[in-house]
Chains A and B, each alone.
Chain A
Amino acid sequence: MQSAPTSSSGSAVKTSSTTPLGGGGSNDSTATKRSTRVRPGDFIFRGLSTGSAVLIMVILAGVALFLIISAIPAITADWSTNSQLNTGPTAAFPNFWAYVGPLIWGTLWSAAIALLFGAPIGIGIALFISHYAPRRLASILGYLVDLLAAVPSIVFGLWGIIVIRPFLLPLSDWLSANLGWIPLFGGPVTTTGSTILAGALVLAVMILPIITSISREIFLQTPRLNEEAALALGATRWEMIRLAVFPYAKSGIVSATLLGLGRALGETMAIALIISPAILVSVRLITEGQNSQTIAANIALNFPIATTLQRDALIGTGLMLFVISLAVNSIARLIVNGKRGKRKKGKDKPSTPGPLSTLPSGDFASATAIDVVAGTPRIGVSDIEGPTPEEDIEGARY
């Protein structure tokens, strides 16, 4: 070892006489000797925190478990002979799967249409706020879009009834008259406007905020240098976005869209209030009474009038919805996390959170709450590359 521990000769003052400073000198050398007593505060607090984290897993498992327990009687019953199930809303179906199949179709179909409108607009808004709007306006504009998330879904439902339904009537008439030969626009045209098109349009409005807030977050994380490099090469703003922003944000856009899909799948009230449904597989957009019904709306409409076993059947359909949206959300989150993992690979950082770990879940709460802690900088937005290995050693804190 090449260090040269000094001869302690004549260098330091050897006095160890005590010169206590002030009245607070309760520490003495025995303090370090005292054995690590478990501090009760620390112990309880750590226990509560860890316990809460575990409780979240228990809750999620509980949700699945209780749905399964409640649904089993209806799933296993023979619907054609069961006296509770061969009447009323469940009368026409031989078994649970025949009942839930069209509902799953309706759920996916309405969500897909909503996504068709919502995703491009949501991503466009995000692009507008992150790369086109004046810097000073950007946060206000973002706040406006987040306001959409604050409006209760039931209000959107009511709004859909009296505004969107009549608004789409002329369009429906025109589509039916001119494009009626396309199956999408086939069937008797609506007179009230209670179409799946109207429902999906309201859904699209409702999923805008989540798509926008997540895409915006990702767009803002594009490495500034890449953007400037593209502009320096003479690219127009759009070419810069295509060359520097989109490749970087691709997976983020995909997962934002999937999260929007997840929300559209589970939305109840807008559909329940607007659409005049039937439990069947149909692609028709502008009829009434022949629209595919969604799982959530079907539950909301039939739950109050259902018998016990019919309720179990509805819970069974809810279980299917739970499984589907769980799958969609998991895939979306895994894409985000996978991206984070890839970018972090090869760096053994002790802890600094990656840029995507502060990704808001797209709700109003987290999207706006960020702005309010005064005087503290955003973590991670500009810190794409993370600390250099050197800083890792000296500068890694938490």
Chain B
Amino acid sequence: MLLIGFTVVGWLVLTAVVYLIALGILSVVVENRRKATDRLVRGLVTVAFLLALIPLVSTLATVIAQGASQISWSYITSVGASTFDPNTLTVTQTPGALQAIVGTLIITGIAALISVPIGLFTSIYLVEYALPKQWLARTVTFLVDVMTGIPSIVAGLFAFSLFSIIVGPKAFSGFSASVALSVLMIPTVVRACEEMLRLVPGDLREASLALGVSKFATIVKIVLPTAIAGLITGIMLAVARIIGETAPIFLAASFTDNFNANPFEGPMQTLPVLAYTGYAFPGKDIAASNASAWGAALLLVILVVILNLIARIVAKIFAPKGMR
């Protein structure tokens, strides 16, 4: 399968190169240099685009091909574990992702609960309250931009440091991972919500204010409802983005085979970390660990797809014109 993949890709690249060269030469001969350059560039940017589609298709195809065999009802509903049989001295691995699914949902959920209010209120501050030249607004806008560039692993280190200073050693917990994810999620939420709030026409705010409605009521009852579709979509997409984060959760919540649904106590397993450890720190049965990793990866992709679909559907349902 890999060989076929390689030859297909190889052929594609080869065809593209031949096509471009032929095109260039033909154009020089038939037309002129300027036209030839023009055609060459058109060909190049088209190839660049097609080139980008290869990894997209290839990644999705690979994760489906590798993960599909792993995913079953029992994989989703049972706790994965490895049991050591002292009589035969063998380790049997039970595939299962329940603890990882639960952990992912809990950690992401808490992260969203922390990030959404902070992010939404900050965007309201930036759009509705801040004067454009105010230093706080400019500083916050800049910091939010910069925050979007914080490496995710740094967020994990931050949460780990924070909790080991507060709680002491062995500070791994789901909540700590949620804090790490919040650092990554807040700027995304701010940017998405800010953009949506700015799309609400100023006319509507004026109409409301001119009716003698206070600013608070104008924001809560006019601006937010008008932007609600975009806000929910933006937030869903922000969740979809952090749900796949691996490094920060790995550092802050560590990993475990145990089922742990308490975010404030002890390590917690998650899907991305299960996918990572399945390859980086495999158990005795390496093949089984790797297979489990692919199962987790496919589940993760499915979750991301679901979140994206929900975001799209919400956008359709709550679109302002269709209300009532």
Residues of A within 8 A of B (CB): 39, 41-42, 44-46, 48-57, 59-60, 62-63, 66-67, 69-70, 120-121, 124-125, 127-129, 132-133, 141, 144-145, 147-159, 161-163, 166-167, 170, 205, 208, 212, 236-239, 241, 259, 262-263, 265-269, 272-273, 296, 299-301, 303-304, 308, 311, 314-315, 318-319, 321-322, 325-326, 328-330, 332-333, 337, 350-351, 353, 357-358, 360-366, 368-370, 372-376, 378-379, 397-398
Q: Given B60, B192, B240, which contacts A366 in the complex, CB threshold below 8 Å?
A: B192
- The answer to whether A322 and B241 touch across the interface, beta carbons within 8 angstroms, is no
Whether A161 lies near B244 (C-beta < 8 A) is no
The answer to whether A369 touches B241, judged by C-beta atoms less than 8 angstroms apart, is no
Contact of A365 with B192 in the complex, beta carbons under 8 Å: yes
Task: Identify which of A121, A364, A374 contacts B237 (C-beta below 8 A).
Answer: A364
Given contacts A128-B48, A365-B192, contact A154 B321 (CB under 8 A): no
Q: State whether A368 touches B164 (Cβ < 8 A).
A: no
Decide if B276 touches A321 in the complex (CB within 8 Å).
Answer: no
Query: B169 interface residue, CB < 8 Å from A?
Result: yes
Chain B stretch 1-43: residues in CB contact (< 8 A) with chain A: 2, 5-6, 9, 34-35, 37-38, 41-42
- Mark each residue of chain B from 223 to 262: 1 if its CB lies under 8 Å from any CB of chain A, else 0: 0000101100110011011011111001100110000000
Chain B residues with Cβ below 8 Å from A49 are 121-122, 124-125, 128-129
Partner of B319, one of A41, A51, A374: A374
The residue that B195 contacts in the complex, of A63, A152, A360, with Cβ under 8 A, is A360
Provide 24 A-B residue pairs closer than 8 Å at the C-beta atoms, listed in order of the A residue.
Answer: A55-B118, A56-B143, A152-B244, A152-B297, A158-B279, A159-B59, A166-B6, A167-B6, A237-B38, A263-B149, A269-B276, A296-B247, A299-B247, A300-B280, A318-B151, A318-B157, A322-B154, A329-B145, A363-B148, A365-B192, A365-B238, A373-B315, A374-B319, A375-B320
Q: Is the CB of A363 within 8 A of B304?
A: no
Counting chain B residues whose Cβ lies within 8 A of the other chain, the interface size class is: 35 or more
Question: Does A325 contact B122, Cβ atoms closer than 8 Å?
Answer: no
Are B45 and A361 in contact, with the CB atoms below 8 A?
Answer: no
Instruction: List chain A residues, Cβ under 8 A from B124.
Output: 45, 49
B residues adjacent to A (C-beta < 8 A): 2, 5-6, 9, 34-35, 37-38, 41-42, 44-49, 51-53, 55-56, 58-60, 62-63, 66, 117-119, 121-122, 124-126, 128-132, 136-137, 139-155, 157-158, 160-162, 164-165, 169, 183, 186-188, 190-192, 195-196, 198-203, 205-206, 214-217, 219-220, 227, 229-230, 233-234, 237-238, 240-241, 243-247, 250-251, 254-255, 272, 275-276, 279-281, 293-294, 297, 300-301, 304, 308, 311-312, 315, 319-322
| SS class, residues of chain A in contact with chain B | helix
A269 touches B56 (CB 8 A): no
Listed from nearest, the 9 A-B pairs whose CB atoms lie closest are A266-B151, A152-B244, A124-B48, A329-B149, A49-B125, A52-B121, A398-B202, A365-B237, A372-B315
B300 contact set on A, CB distance < 8 A: 152, 154-155
A53–B125 CA distance with the chains assembled, in angstroms: 7
CA A84 – CA B202 in complex, angstroms? 62
CB nearest to A354 among chain B residues: B132
Known A-B contacts: A158-B293, A268-B152. Give 5 more (CB < 8 A).
A53-B136, A154-B272, A155-B301, A158-B62, A363-B241
